[in-house]
Structure 1
Amino acid sequence: MSIPGLLHLELEVRPNDDGWFKESFHGARLAAAGVPPFEVRQHNVLYLAEAGITRGIHAEPWDKYLSPAAGRVFAAIVDLRDGDRFGRVETFELGAGQALYVPRGCGNSFCTLEPHTVYNLLMNEFWSPQRVGVDLFDPELGIEWPFPRERLSYTERDAANPSLAGVRARRA
């Protein structure tokens, strides 16, 4: 990974007669895979009815552990921490068998790839409105979203996020 602390994890999904089962979060196994100590303080679940629902880019003052329970997402992570890796982007396609550990200060964004996606977000701090946002479509980031912009559904708040250059200038 080119973003320090970002981990992409493969999870075992075991089929059964009723569907499947996975251990989404197993502290000892995650520690063995390199995830730092992570005390879950809040667990959010998003149900997203349509493909193309897009959220982010948000960097909050907590670490996140993300994994779909159903459906698939395209995730784009942007390093927004000070340093020479500021602005670096990593993208992933996540299904039920994958998870991401995203360290605090890295911007998280996602786009649903199919309808009826259920996305789990575990955080090691309680939610607060503190965050740094970056424009989903900033050409400096070069994120190739899986659908054309006019097919994406995003919030006005996310659309108003500053460019990467704007975030950089605010810190100078």
Structure 2
Amino acid sequence: MRAHRTPIAGVLRIELDLTPNPDGWFKENFHREKLAELGMNVVQHNVAYFEEPGIVRGIHAEPWDKYLSPTSGRVFAAIVELRPGAAFGQVATFELGTADALYVPRGVGNSFCTLAPHTTYNFLVNEHWSPERVAVDLFDPELAIAWPDLPLRYTERDAANPSLAELRALLTA
């Protein structure tokens, strides 16, 4: 496991060792001590499976840290700084395969788009799920996220998220 800083404070891109074997591959996706060094004490492991490319989720900032990694397929991840401060609204994007992971601290918005059929997406969190979250419009022109050139499918809930300007006003009110 090798962690690399990204343009957004606290967000780490992580290279995982993927070891080929005669049947496919093996990776150590979770190692408690290694994640604890990043400041994460995992309490829940969630898995989401997506049959088709172009499925989009987010942009959500939850009250927990996340460790994200696909175990099959590929995803395009868009990460947005939603914590108050000068970097508010900063965007970083990543393409993640099975040998990649991201560590996303609480308060930072995260979203993804499946790039391949049969994508399985794992995320570990350090707090149990709650409905509390901050969200922003996936297609806000101020964010200017260059989403993959695919037919995109997303939920009505995500489509109704506020713009970055509206969120900024809500957070500073």
TM range, normalised to the smaller chain? over 0.9
C-alpha separation in 2, matches of 1:8 and 1:76: 12
Pairs within 5 Å for 1:43-82: 43-82=45-84
Cα deviation 1:65-124 (Å, max 9, x = unaligned):
000000000000001000001101110000000000000000010000000000001000
2:11 paired with 1:6: yes
The 1:30/1:42 distance shift into structure 2, 3 A limit, reads closer
The RMSD of aligned alpha carbons is 1.1
Structure 1 residue ranges, 4+ long, deviating more than 6 angstroms after superposition: none
Cα deviation 1:4-50 (Å, max 9, x = unaligned):
10000000000101110000122334456xx22x1111111000000
1:99 alignment partner in structure 2: 101
Quick one: which of 39, 42, 62 aligns to 1:40?
Answer: 42
Unmatched 5+ stretches in structure 1 = none
2:165 alignment partner in structure 1: 165
2:117 paired with 1:112: no
Unmatched 5+ stretches in structure 2 = 1-5
Alignment-mate amino acid for residue 65 of structure 2: D
Alignment-mate amino acid for residue 9 of structure 2: P
Report the 3-state secondary structure (helix = DSSP H, G, I; strand = E; otherwise coil) of the residue aligned with 2:167: helix
1:23 alignment partner in structure 2: 28
The alpha-carbon deviation at position 154 of structure 1 amounts to 0.1
Report the 3-state secondary structure (helix = DSSP H, G, I; strand = E; otherwise coil) of the residue aligned with 1:65: strand
The alpha-carbon deviation at position 171 of structure 1 amounts to 1.6
C-alpha separation in 1, matches of 2:146 and 2:95: 12
Alignment-mate amino acid for residue 122 of structure 2: N
